[in-house]
């Protein structure tokens, strides 16, 4: 007969289903700072050293801002936009580069205590290591911590928490997954492929260089050690191309080249470029490679790319409007009435196709 007490004890401590267990902390986990900093530093390095990365960033800015930014309306908005301390028509290009390269923008608004005019400056994303948000709302950003020469760093309030006569920071991000506060660079997904293409191209340059390299092998029959030393001293200088070498039958001169098997490297390079182009959403002919595409093929391949640039243009225009509206609010003005347009740079056939 089984012991009923043992059976009751086993039932009381039995785990019915692991699915009922949950972590003690349900808040979404943002990326750690070391990962954010590593990604930002890699994107910055690629932009500085890799021609394709620099072209991708520059091309995005060229298409997003297009022929320029047209602003009209409230006189205060024009004064803010054209102020010598702001020069927004030029600063916007730098903002678009930074937004594409780092995936986010940190803008500082500083008030002039005399006339209330707001001045804009930028903080590099690599210097912001912490963003304070609401306990139950990641989009309610409250403060930002900047790394400085001071070990304590510097804390910046958001526009929602700062006093009207104090400085504040505005944060904008793209490619931001749900549940995270930081954005991703447009180069993030193609960073390793840019590095691999760089290594592949460098290897091809070395191989092509070594294919034309050679050395002389001089063979002397039945030579004594003293004779070999004398010949080494005699031939210590390599003969110049076109030189005439005179020797007797005891010497045999042979040009030795590296044996490198011929291979077709073009498909490998194209595959790497295709991965890079697909990662940033452009066809290969946008990266100075005409392929064998006709005009009709290029048009079909470019449609998705232009739509991507128009979407980014909408996001960037929204950022500019947010900066203007916040600056006007902090200057004590009502919401200004103005129009801001970013004129696209598209061929007429693409423009017509996108308007349909």
Q: Return d(Cα 196, Cα 46) in angstroms, integer.
A: 12
Residue 148, pLDDT score: 92
Is residue 331 within 8 Å of 116, Cβ to Cβ?
A: yes
Is residue 89 within 8 Å of 82, Cβ to Cβ?
A: yes
Q: Return d(Cα 42, Cα 105) in angstroms, integer.
A: 17
Which parts of the chain register pLDDT below 50?
A: 26-27, 347-354, 356
Q: Return d(Cα 7, Cα 306) in angstroms, integer.
A: 70
Q: Return d(Cα 345, Cα 59) in angstroms, integer.
A: 11
**Phi and psi at residue 353, in whole multiples of 5°?**
-65, -35
Q: Return d(Cα 92, Cα 257) in angstroms, integer.
A: 55
Residue 159, pLDDT score: 92
Tracing tokens 């260089």 back to the chain, one arrives at 209
Q: Return d(Cα 73, Cα 317) in angstroms, integer.
A: 16
User: What would you report as the CA-atom Rg of the chain, rounded to the nearest whole angstrom?
Assistant: 32
Residue 250, pLDDT score: 74
Residue 353, pLDDT score: 45
CB within 8 A of 162, min separation 6: which ones? 168
Kindly provide the residue ranges of all beta strands, DSSP E only, lying in the chain, ordered along the sequence.
68-73, 104-111, 118-123, 128-134, 137-146, 154-157, 168-173, 215-220, 251-256, 338-343
Q: Return d(Cα 131, Cα 31) in angstroms, integer.
A: 11
CB within 8 A of 113, min separation 6: which ones? 165
Is residue 211 within 8 Å of 62, Cβ to Cβ?
A: no
């Amino acid at each position: 007969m089984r012991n009923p007490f043992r059976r009751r004890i086993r039932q009381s401590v039995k785990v019915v289903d692991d699915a009922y267990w949950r972590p003690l902390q349900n808040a979404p986990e943002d990326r750690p700072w070391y990962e954010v900093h590593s990604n930002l530093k890699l994107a910055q390095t690629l932009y500085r050293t890799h021609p394709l990365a620099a072209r991708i960033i520059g091309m995005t800015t060229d298409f997003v801002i297009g022929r320029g930014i047209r602003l009209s309306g409230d006189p205060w908005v024009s004064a803010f936009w054209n102020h010598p301390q702001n020069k927004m028509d030029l600063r916007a290009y730098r903002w678009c580069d930074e937004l594409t390269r780092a995936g986010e923008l940190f803008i500082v608004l500083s008030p002039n205590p005399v006339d209330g005019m707001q001045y804009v400056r930028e903080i590099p994303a690599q210097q912001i290591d912490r963003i304070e948000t609401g306990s139950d709302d990641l989009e309610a950003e409250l403060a930002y911590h900047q790394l400085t020469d001071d070990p304590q760093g510097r804390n910046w309030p958001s526009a929602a928490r700062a006093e009207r006569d104090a400085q504040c920071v505005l944060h904008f991000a793209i490619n931001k997954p749900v549940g995270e506060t930081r954005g991703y660079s447009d180069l993030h997904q193609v960073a390793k492929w840019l590095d691999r293409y760089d290594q592949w191209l460098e290897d091809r340059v070395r191989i092509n260089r070594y294919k034309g390299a050679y050395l002389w092998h001089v063979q002397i029959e039945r030579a004594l050690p003293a004779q070999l030393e004398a010949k080494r001293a005699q031939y210590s200088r390599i003969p110049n191309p076109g030189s005439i070498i005179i020797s007797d039958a005891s010497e045999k001169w042979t040009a030795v080249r590296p044996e490198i098997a011929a291979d077709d490297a073009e498909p490998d390079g194209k595959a790497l470029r295709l991965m890079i182009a697909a990662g940033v959403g452009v066809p290969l002919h946008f990266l100075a490679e005409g392929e064998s595409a006709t005009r009709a093929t290029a048009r079909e391949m470019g449609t998705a790319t232009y739509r991507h640039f128009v979407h980014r243009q909408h996001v960037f225009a929204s950022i500019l409007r947010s900066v203007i509206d916040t600056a006007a609010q902090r200057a004590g003005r009502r919401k200004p009435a103005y129009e801001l347009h970013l004129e696209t740079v598209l061929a007429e056939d693409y423009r017509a196709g996108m308007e349909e």
